[in-house]
Amino acid sequence: MTEYVQIKDAKIPIVIRSYKTSRHLKMYFKADILYISKPKYVSKKKAIEFVEDNKLELYGKYKKIREQNAGAKYWNTGDVFWIKGEKYIVDAKKTQEQRIKVQLDNENKKIYIEYPEEISDETKKENVDKVLLKLLRNNTEVLLEKRVPYWSKVTKIDYKMFKVNDATSKFGSCIPSKKILHFSSRLIMLPEDVIDGVIVHELCHIIYPNHSKDFYNLVNTYKPNYNEINKWLKKNGKIILF
């Protein structure tokens, strides 16, 4: 059962978690859900009092998050998901079972989601997000295992390793001094040509750890349409994320 705290006109879902290693009460938002981490010895009542003591600050943060996430997907029927630049339409339905199921249908470009009747939108979103992130991470890793070595060979730029994270602020990054590439698990959501553009971009940072003219000349040597790819990312990058 999801718990809530009422602050002014906002009914904010909260999740309270206890940790042996925690020394202090901490609060943070993930999407529009307020998470409270506390030491084992701190009671739930004290955690709620902590929220009350900081409710005005929390209210402001919550409102800002709601505005930023106005287009957030709660995985209702008709919502759109992306795999390699192709639209997958959500088909969601309530069931009597007490767990969430997510099934990807590549042939018909659909995502089937089943969830308990009494579950809240926030809880449904949180759990479906977890399943989809795992799916994305696995598929991105499989893709990168082929495309990164390929582009390394084409560009003759050696790298030490690549890692996959769940970043939403950028699709890729690089630590030039260590020759380590980082890619977002969401990379698999982009069209394949755009994915290649991101990979080449990060590889070229091993040679030029900046965004100088020489850097972009190198990128364009291997991806002559990189300007179009960059424009696509600026226009669509945030739209396809969740």
Q: Are residues 213 and 235 in the same domain?
A: yes
- Residue type, position 122, single letter: E
Top mean pLDDT of 23-37, 45-59, 220-234 is at 220-234
Beta strands in 96-201 (DSSP E): 101-105, 110-116, 161-165, 172-175, 180-184
- As a whole number, mean pLDDT of residues 71-83 equals 86
Q: Which residues pair with 10 in a beta bridge?
A: 7
Q: Which domain holds residue 58?
A: 3-68
Q: Does residue 46 sit within a domain?
A: yes
- Of residues 74, 77, 75, the one with CA closest to residue 91: 77
130-187 pLDDT, tens digit per residue, is: 999 999 999 999 999 999 999 999 999 999 999 999 988 899 999 999 999 999 999 9
Which of 140, 123, 154 lies closest to 189, judged by CA? 140
The answer to whether residue 147 is domain-embedded is yes
Classify residue 75: in a domain, yes or no: no
Which whole-number Å values give the CA distances from 71 to 63, 196, 213, 229, 235, in the listed order?
14, 28, 36, 24, 15
Residue 73 lies in a domain: no
Q: Are residues 208 and 169 in the same domain?
A: yes
> For the segment 32-58, what is each residue's pLDDT rounded down to a tens digit?
788 899 999 999 999 889 988 998 888
Strand, coil or helix: 28: strand
- The share of the chain scoring above pLDDT 90, in percent, equals 62
Q: At 238, is the pLDDT very low, low, confident or very high (cuts 50, 70, 90)?
A: confident
**Taking a C-beta distance cutoff of 8 angstroms, is the pair 222, 198 a contact?**
no
Residues 44 and 19 in one domain: yes
Question: Is residue 160 located within the same domain as residue 219?
Answer: yes
Which among 136, 234, 233, 166 is positioned nearest to 30, based on CA atoms? 166
Q: What is the pLDDT of residue 71?
A: 57
Same domain, 45 and 85: no
Domain count, the chain: 3
β pairing state of 110-116 and 161-165: unpaired
